[in-house]
Structure 1
């Protein structure tokens, strides 16, 4: 898969700013008194950097060279071990907490998802915590994304026109399955579009997978304020413990 254009990467933090999701993950790490934190799919490192603390090891892994280049240029980046790759690139050592934020779990295809969970299990100490969020398949959010009209905004590199196209939705009656999308990005007429897939997994499916791979689920939340999951919840947030 082609990497993101660096001009689009520069806009990532504007579109995905620090907020309640980051507060949740930071509180989780602090509550665990974590001495070693793994951020798989760390992106630009906007959250990863904030885990840095005296005596704590932080590892950020991402498959995008452009994202990692941006992360390495952040203030405080020296407090993080940045690694290009996926779960197979996790360095040796027992981590206290591993996270996948920003719906990273949905970008991992079904063929690679069990191996990813197994790699994360191996990277955690017994009793270590894995936390991540995923969109609830029921609301079928991709429909609203792809039905929205194109939008335009000014950037340091020119006028950016953006919209989404649906390429394929291979989902069941509950919205569970794989959705292929095209992110259309035209920067002063230059086409910077890219295709991607999202795996929409139900809460029940994820619970079964975690159990089969050696995790005990200790909590599932319906938002970043730890409310119960409802049928119309946009996301569910998982906290699991390595057996």
Structure 2
């Protein structure tokens, strides 16, 4: 299920206000810049922050997302006409159409079950040209980030463009193996409290590498932080860059 921040029109502006351009976007943009004028897929593009930035940098960008409310916000932003926006999932991607595919903001972790994860990787392999690259971020489970997601550590106040101030906090509701469920609380001055629940999968580096290999990718590098640090010495991330093989994708197992 999509988080409320992506599908609820009352929460989409909060997501936008809380998530400005950061060094994370710089990291993805730097990889895209290695191929000037690249055909870039932003899968799970949300409200379009990165897609718009890449289009402004001269890339041909397609932003794909299943959340109509997020895409509505993206289409309303300056420069939106430079991006092709698609309401859908990886299953809707054309074949051999992109030089670079991105999944940012830990989109990969929303694919909790192995079946959808394998299918998404296979779809991405199909959508990339031979030798095309896939770059995505996934939190390193060894960092145990979820232990810092608590009301005291995440309480924040966000001012929206219309002047309203929203108070928000996060609480983890379940941890089972590598699967973490949590709830975001948003207290509005006019709507009262709105809740957004989600579940994330924390995959180890080994699991990511195995899934990519099965889908027909070769992993080129894995960074542990946004400054290019090694795994375990950075920001608790697994930043994976892989290249699509020359042949077809691997066999996708049953879910």
TM-score (norm 2): 0.86
- Cα 1:78/1:142, change in 2 over 3 Å: same
- TM superposition shift of 1:43: 0.7
* Distance in 2 separating the partners of 1:219 and 1:23: 17
SS at match of 2:27: helix
Which of 121, 124, 132 is residue 128 of structure 2 equivalent to?
124
Aligned position for 1:195: 197
1:78: Cα distance to partner?
A: 0.7
CA distance 1:54–1:145, shift in 2 (3 Å):
closer
* Runs (5+) with no aligned partner, structure 2: 246-255
Structure 2 SS opposite 1:164:
strand
Residues 125-164 of structure 1 correspond to what in structure 2 (within 5 A)?
Answer: 125-148=129-152, 150-155=155-160, 156=162, 158-164=164-170
State the distance in 2 between where 1:73 and 1:239 align.
Answer: 31
SS in 2 for 1:91: coil
Q: Structure 1 residue 109: deviation in Å?
A: 1.8
CA shift, 1:13, in A, is 3.0
Q: Secondary structure at the match of 2:149?
A: helix
Aligned residue for 2:135, secondary structure, equals strand
How many pairs align?
238
Comparing 154-163 with 7-16, which one deviates more in the overlay? 154-163
**Shift in CA distance, 22/159, structure 1 to aligned 2, threshold 3 Å:** closer
Comparing both structures, which one devotes a greater share of its residues to helix?
Answer: 2
Matches within 5 A, 1:151-230: 151-155=156-160, 156=162, 158-171=164-177, 177-188=178-189, 190-230=192-232
Deviation at 1:198, TM superposition (A): 0.7
5+ residue gaps in structure 1?
172-176
* Cα offsets for 1:177-205 (capped at 9, x unmatched): 11111111121262321110111001111
Q: 1:93 to 1:56 in 2, by over 3 A?
A: farther
TM-score norm. by structure 1 comes to 0.90
Inter-partner Cα distance in structure 2 for 1:55 and 1:29 = 10
